[in-house]
Amino acid sequence: MSLIVQKYGGTSLGDVERIQAVAARIEGYCKQGHRLVVVVSAMSGETNRLVSIGRQISVSGHYPREMDVLTASGEQVSAALLAMALQQRGIKAKSMLADQVKVLTDSVFGKARIQKIETQSLMAALDGGYIPIVTGYQGVDEHHNITTLGRGGSDTSAVALAAVLGADECEICTDVDGVYTADPRLVDAARRLDEITFEEMLELASLGSKVLHPRSVEFAGRYKVPLRVLSTFNKGPGTLITVERENMEQPLISGIAHARDEAKVTVTGVPDIPGIASKILGPISAANVEVDMIVQNTGADGLTDFTFTVKREDFDRTLALLKPLCEEIGAANLAGDKEIAKVSIVGVGMRSHAGVATKMFDCLASENINIQMISTSEIKISVVVAEKYLELAVRSLHSEFGL
Amino acid sequence: MSLIVQKYGGTSLGDVERIQAVAARIEGYCKQGHRLVVVVSAMSGETNRLVSIGRQISVSGHYPREMDVLTASGEQVSAALLAMALQQRGIKAKSMLADQVKVLTDSVFGKARIQKIETQSLMAALDGGYIPIVTGYQGVDEHHNITTLGRGGSDTSAVALAAVLGADECEICTDVDGVYTADPRLVDAARRLDEITFEEMLELASLGSKVLHPRSVEFAGRYKVPLRVLSTFNKGPGTLITVERENMEQPLISGIAHARDEAKVTVTGVPDIPGIASKILGPISAANVEVDMIVQNTGADGLTDFTFTVKREDFDRTLALLKPLCEEIGAANLAGDKEIAKVSIVGVGMRSHAGVATKMFDCLASENINIQMISTSEIKISVVVAEKYLELAVRSLHSEFGL
């Protein structure tokens, strides 16, 4: 008898029929004798609907505490509905809000981080024979305010619960069959991976493969929670995210990721002195804008250029934040580009093989795709290209590396 | 500087524009220097929408705990939106869920009763210069479960908050201008009352004038909370509900109320022995069905007939509950009628005047309206008639008593 934490996303809970189908799926696990804790997202479209009403009202301001109270209602609704659907099948289940479980977070509304999860009320529910249906994506701070965890928050909730409960597995039940070597909508030859390491998944996730949020993968890796991505409605084992790949013969590259929703910001003619990078990025991170790639070249004449990427939705805010700063530090110019995309190749096999980067750059050059930025880690190489070349780049690389 | 508790109903918060109008109204009170605590209902239609989804899922069962979690999300949304709309106007405001305030109730989901309200967090918010926007209609029980107060719950929340805070006035802001001598949609000559006593209002409210829920009026009377019913969007003083009417010259009758949503249940040929009434009503009240009028005639031959009214929505459930019981006690017959309406005349002046009942019955007889049931209190006379006579009965009585 295993203890499994299952997370169902918004699409899986999109309407009454789907909620009932999820309840049937859960019933199947119960019949196999597993103990379950279920984490739910809001019904698909619901969070956007709430945010849209909220924005109509907060025309010229940003009221994150209230936005969290507003959007947190979405998971409350789906948790109650799923609990009902299970009771309707004669299964004992009860909704538990983050605040009833006690998922304690810091007070950064809209992007809160989990600090502690109490297991007492969850264990009491499990011991009473109930399936707890926990609202994902949300928590409470020490002052009893409702907080939300931001993007991918429900995945993070599920993994964190699995970690504190010592669950045997954390299943992310979603609308895809698993993790693919590339986005199947872009590359026909893309295939599902049976296994992938946490490190690879982390690089893939943060690079936009959208299956799992990087925070949840990081969490799972740190606490050694076996994590599985699988389809809610199709049978299949999905993809298991493991600490070490069992197959010792590691492929060079395990997947290709891409991200469309990024934008590039360049500050040119910056004085090349110590502390300049933090001076530029400080106010941006203080405003809770996530910075992704950062590139700075060795400068000449005591001046340097500084480029980084942010989410496209944060682009205008970032420029507005930087404008006064650029004047203050005497930068020559501030420019940006929203029409970019990022393409990355990821694989633990890359560590021990030279020449992967050359192979990648050659492949792109042979398609006449200009590389605007390059950034690398031990198991990943990312390039920024004009957005119009995205599909071409992904397909060429998928074929080049024989995925 | 007064402390005022204001409650806004669902119609007043029906869309973004109305929420903004309510924020403007609240700003007006702030500028006059008042301190405010605001209680909100769910946006109109929202509770029904949620209940409808819930019922689609709980096809053959009743899961009141989850239904409360589900519907409580409605006030959470409107509280957050109104807080945003106020912040947008530069006014400090924060949503406070029943659980954050701490509105402690018993555990009767769907019909919970308030046991205690803590004032500490509310006072802290007020002292910090915030307008607390409290979710009406809901509470938490001692086990931290979400509960809802049932019909008229938001009015009750507002009055209870006004009581514990010692507020100078509790304003129920709604879509009518105040309390009328009869339903203006039925009687053209109906006029707004400047004042009405708690007792009269209690009789009027419980008889279906729909402006205020009887529980809230009872609460206000018991804790001497000055209660005012007035329009959210039109200017005007509304109707003040007072302990004693200032005008000593009391009219005979202050208003005529009616209720359409009732049904009649009759058990005939019941053994006329002690304890039979509680034997019949016991299981009904245990099932949380509210019984309104109860009439039992002196019997003959050791048998009696027993008639009572329930909400029309509870009619089928009531019959189902009574059927086995009737066989058990050997009742002759169980019958019911959904096509009834109740008409009542109310007035503290009635106490000292004989002949009011005769005048009422004469008036109905002259219109050929048959009276099916009669029930009286010190300041009220109610009759049940066939539903088709409802309008005629109300209009005739309004004219007969010169309102």
- Cβ burial of A285 (10 Å; 0-12, 13-18, 19+) is exposed
Angle formed at CA B83 by CA B80 and CA B84, multiple of 5 degrees? 85
User: DSSP secondary-structure letter at A221?
Assistant: H
Contact A8, A41 (CB under 8 A): yes
The lowest-confidence range among A157-166, A322-331, B8-17, B390-399 is A322-331
Interacting residues of A259 by C-beta distance below 8 A, sequence separation 6+: A207, A208, A341, A342
Classify residue B314: in a domain, yes or no.
no
Neighbour count for residue B379 (Cβ, 10 Å): 20
**Per-residue model confidence as pLDDT tens digits over A178-231:** 888 888 888 888 888 898 888 888 787 665 566 787 788 888 888 889 999 999
Rounded-to-integer distance, Cα B148 and Cα B70, Å: 10
Question: Looking at residue A351, what is its pLDDT?
Answer: 67
- pLDDT of B210 strictly over 80: no
Interface test with B, best of A55, A81, A133 (most B CBs within 10 A): A81
Q: Are A338 and A312 in contact (CB under 8 A)?
A: yes
pLDDT, tens digit, for every residue of B215-237? 888 888 888 899 999 999 988 99
Query: Phi, psi at residue A182, to the nearest 5°?
Result: -160, 170
The answer to whether the Cβ–Cβ distance between B16 and A72 falls below 8 Å is: no
Which of A16, A63, A97 lies closest to B87 in CB terms?
A: A63
* CA–CA dist A163, B391 (Å, integer): 66
Cα–Cα distance, A125 to A224 (Å, whole number): 25
Q: Collect all residues with Cβ–Cβ distance below 8 Å to B358 and sequence separation of at least 6.
A: none
Residue B138 lies in a domain: yes
Q: Does the residue A316 lie in any domain?
A: no
Length of chain A (residues) = 403
The count of other CB atoms within 10 Å of the CB of residue A66 is 27
CB A196 within 8 A of CB A204: yes
Q: pLDDT for B62-73, tens place per residue?
A: 899 999 999 999
User: Which residue of chain B is at minimal alpha-carbon distance from A144?
Assistant: B100
Hey, what are A393's tokens?
């780049």
Q: How far apart are CA B288 and CA A105, in angstroms?
A: 39
Domain count along chain A = 1
pLDDT at B288: 81
Q: A189: distance to nearest CA of chain B, Å?
A: 41
Q: What is the pLDDT of residue A300?
A: 67
Which of B77, B99, B122, B140 should one mutate to test binding to chain A, selecting the residue with the greatest count of A CBs within 10 A? B77
Q: Hey, how many other C-beta atoms are within 10 angstroms of the C-beta on B22? A: 24
Indicate yes or no: CB of B81 within 8 angstroms of CB of A63: no
What does the pLDDT read at residue A298? 67
- B65, part of any domain: yes
Nearest chain B alpha carbon to A57:
B85
A77 Cα to chain B: minimum distance (Å)? 5
Residue B99 lies in a domain: yes
Q: For B335-348, what is each residue's pLDDT tens digit?
A: 899 999 999 998 87
Amino acid at B28: G
The mean per-residue pLDDT over the stretch B273-283 comes to 80
Q: Are strands B333-337 and B262-271 parallel, antiparallel or unpaired?
A: antiparallel
Tell me which residue has tokens 């400080």: A282
Q: What is the ipTM of this complex?
A: 0.76
Give the B-side interface with A, CB within 8 Å.
16, 19-20, 50, 53-54, 56-61, 63, 65-67, 69-70, 72-74, 76-77, 79-81, 83-85, 87-88, 94-95, 97, 99-100, 144-146
Q: How far is CA A103 from CA A67, A257, B281, in A?
A: 18, 32, 45
Q: At A387, is the secondary structure helix, strand, or coil?
A: helix
Distance CA B10, CA B175 (A): 9
Low-confidence ranges of chain A (pLDDT < 50): 248
- pLDDT recorded at residue B76: 98
Regarding pTM above 0.80, the answer is: no
How far is A268 from A291, CA to CA, in rounded Å? Answer: 18
Quick check: A83 and B66 CB within 8 A? Answer: yes
| Exposure b/e, A149-180, CB count within 10 A at least 16 = b | bbbbbbbbbbbbbbbbbebebbbbbbebbbbb
What confidence score (pLDDT) does residue B301 get? Answer: 75
Q: A69 to chain B: which residues are within 8 Å by CB?
A: 76, 79-80, 83, 95, 97
Distance CA B372, CA B386 (A): 8
The strand pairing partners of B373, in sequence order, are B384
With respect to residue B78, please indicate whether it lies within any of the assigned structural domains: yes
Task: Inspect the interface and report whether the beta carbons of A146 and B81 lie closer than 8 Å.
Answer: no
Q: Is B147 among the domain residues?
A: yes
Of the pLDDT bands very low, low, confident and very high (cuts 50, 70, 90), residue B251 is low
CB contact under 8 A, A73 and B73: yes
For residue B77, the domain's CATH number is: 3.40.1160.10
What is the domain range of residue B106?
A: 3-175
Tell me whether residues B84 and A56 touch, CB distance under 8 A: no
How high is the mean pLDDT of chain B? 89
Whether A80 is in a domain gets the answer yes
Q: What 3-state class would DSSP assign to A42?
A: coil
